[in-house]
Amino acid sequence: MLYTKKFAGMFLLWTFVSPPVAMAGKNVLTFWPAILAAAISDPLPGPDSGPTGLVFSMGSYSDVILTAGTPSPAPAPIEGVQVLLNHSSYSDSLNNLHVVGEVLNNSSSTISSVGISVNFLDSSGTLVGYSFTSVKMDQKLPPGEQTCFKTTVRNPGNVDSYIFEPVTALSEGDIPAIPLLTVTEDSGSYDNMSGSYSISGTIRNDSGRPVEYVYPIATLYTEEGLVAGCNDTSEYATPLDDGQSSSFAMTLSERDFVDVTSYRLQVVMNSMKY
């Protein structure tokens, strides 16, 4: 069931998974259980045979309850989808803790909505923090492919270690391969003055059709194969016609990347023009 709240010309939308959060000065929220009971027991038809609904007006509020259709499946653990052992962590100059790593899709299906949950522990093994993030490659991840992630905890305090919960994802089954987008003329360099690492290059669309929202993802590695950094240029995503190229550049500067010896580039393409 979905709930919308209109206030000062804005709408908020959420599902009834947990109790409503009280809003200061708005004691109308104390009436929600009665409102919900009334809506469930005696719904009113919506206009034009639309969804069933019930509207309450309380001062400046307009509370609307609508029944929802069949819910979408929620991401869940999938056998073979896992965080690789080459993850690492580092702190930046503001004492924020960053955890970087890679997720491998070792299942037989293409997956999407890949999520990583991290529990942070103190020296006694007590849970002191939690973080959730998604992989940088937010399109479909084919079988046998891996991609990087980064999650950040601000000023974590007494964190001594961290552990991962099972990776969650949606199984997409068999879908067509991602269009061919080629990275050319790429190079990476370390700046020993700032400690940053920069990567630049060109993306060419060799798919045979126009594509939209194209940007690269970079995974940095140490000599030992540990993930040292993960970044993208999604804020500069661009469309590309067939055969068209676009240059890119990114700089990672959250720590000293003197230990980086290699990098890997992937290209994200979120939609195609037909």
What is the residue extent of each domain of the chain?
Answer: 2-66, 76-173, 181-272
**What's the pTM value of the predicted model, to 2 decimals?**
0.72
Once rounded to an integer, what is the mean pLDDT over residues 170-190?
Answer: 85
| Integer Cα distance of 181 and 170 in angstroms | 24
Instruction: Report phi then psi at 253, rounded to 5.
Output: -140, 20
Residues 85-132: pLDDT tens digits? 999 999 998 889 999 999 999 999 999 999 999 999 999 999 999 999
Tokens 């040292």 appear where? 228
Paired tokens of 26: 């708005």
pLDDT of residue 250: 97
Report whether pLDDT(151) > 80.
Answer: yes
Report whether pLDDT(49) > 50.
Answer: no
Looking at CATH, the fold of the domain delimited by 181-272 is given as: Immunoglobulin-like (2.60.40)
Please provide the average confidence, as pLDDT, over all residues in the chain. 78
Same fold, 76-173 and 181-272: yes
CATH number of 76-173: 2.60.40.10
Instruction: Report phi then psi at 24, rounded to 5.
Output: -55, 135
Once rounded to an integer, what is the mean pLDDT over residues 205-230?
Answer: 94
Helix (H, G, I), strand (E, B) or coil at 186: strand
